[in-house]
Amino acid sequence: MFIDSHCHIDFPDLAAREDEVLANMQAQQVSHALCVSVNIEQWPRVTGMAERHANVFASLGVHPDYEDVTEPDVAQLVDMSAHPRVVAIGETGLDYFRLTGDLEWQRKRFRTHIRAARECGKPLIIHTRSSAEDTLAIMREERAHEVGGVMHCFTETLEVAEAAIDMGFCISFSGIVTFKNAQQLRDVAKAIPLASMLIETDSPYLAPVPYRGKMNEPAFVPHVAAELAKVRGMTVEEVGRVTSDNFFRLFHDAARLAGREEVAA
């Protein structure tokens, strides 16, 4: 069994095939998926997805790439995350690749999410791109270690991974780890503790080899696990089991909802 720790199955192209996407998961032994928000307008779609499917969990936040959208405040994030299917805050973080100029608003928004996560006791889903130094600095300043979380779709160095792991964060690998030019990332996957590893699709983006260039979906996450199995000298089943246990240990509300509290304990 495998768990897709980060997907956007509420996005129109995947939502239009909702039943098929869920059936494909089952056929490929993908037991659960975490559907992640990118803006406030979309929150009801994400929680709706998690209400309709017992094996889908929700996360609420506003993505750093969304510039001209309603800005969340701490109280609003805390209030909304009381929804019974919400297990995490995010995605949040910094992205200096997609956007440039004065990005103080991004840093402020990131701090808001960390404060909300600490207040409601839920882990953080962090996106960082060309901004690792500031991301780690803000995580430290805002005491993100109190809730932990995941560095999703990880593409940074081993040093950045280790700094995040020191703060109680997991490192999540996407289809990028299957790409030919991703040797540096495979080296990171080889070096970090198994107990800190998660797998994800970030679908509909970043389909793994052999689906590269196609629309991604949670059913493809075993291909990420297979690549990690190769890198670590494990079976794909072992990678599935370890990353699923890691998922439930980190997202303790998901463990409770799925009746897997023994993993979280």
User: Measured from the CB of residue 64, what is the shortest distance to Zn ion in angstroms?
Assistant: 8
User: What track of x and - describes contact with Zn ion for positions 185 through 214 (by CB under 5 A)?
Assistant: -----------------x------------
# of chain residues touching Zn ion (CB under 5 A)? 2
Regarding 109 and contact with Zn ion (CB under 5 A), the answer is: no
Which are the contacts of 18, defined by CB distance < 8 A and separation ≥ 6?
A: 9, 49, 52
Cβ proximity to Zn ion: between 97 and 105 the closer is: 97
Residue 156 or 202 with smaller CB distance to Zn ion: 202
Q: Which is nearer to Zn ion, 122 or 127 (CB)?
A: 127
* Given 127, 186, 223, 252, the residue binding Zn ion (CB under 5 A): 127
CB-based contacts of 178, cutoff 8 Å, min separation 6? 208, 209, 212, 223, 224, 227
What is the number of other CB atoms lying within 10 angstroms of the CB of residue 198? 26
Q: Pick between residue 247 and residue 260 the one whose CB is nearest to Zn ion.
A: 247
Cβ neighbors of 189 (< 8 A, separation 6 or more) are 173, 177, 197, 228, 231, 232
Among residues 78, 7, 74, 4, which one has the least CA distance to residue 38?
7
CB of 38 to Zn ion, least distance (A): 7
CA angle 165, 130, 117 (to 5 degrees): 50
Shortest reach from residue 48's CB to Zn ion, in Å = 18
Residue 130 beta carbon to Zn ion: minimum distance, rounded to whole angstroms? 13
Per-residue contact flags (x/-) with Zn ion for residues 140 to 169, judged by CB under 5 A: ------------------------------
Tokens coding 216 = 């991604």
**Segment interacting with Zn ion (CB under 5 A) among 47-55, 101-109, 125-133, 177-185:** 125-133
Tokens 């297990």 correspond to what residue? 87
Task: Give the CA distances from residue 150 to residues 3, 17, 147, 181, 230, in Å, rounded to whole numbers and listed in that order.
Answer: 14, 28, 10, 24, 23
Q: Judged by CB, which is closer to Zn ion: 200, or 245?
A: 200
For Zn ion, the closer of residues 65 and 237 by Cβ is 65
Residue 149, CA distances (Å) to 28, 118, 153, 155, 205 in order: 26, 11, 13, 16, 21
Q: Shortest distance, CB of residue 150 to Zn ion, whole angstroms? A: 11
- Positions that interact with Zn ion (CB under 5 A): 127, 202
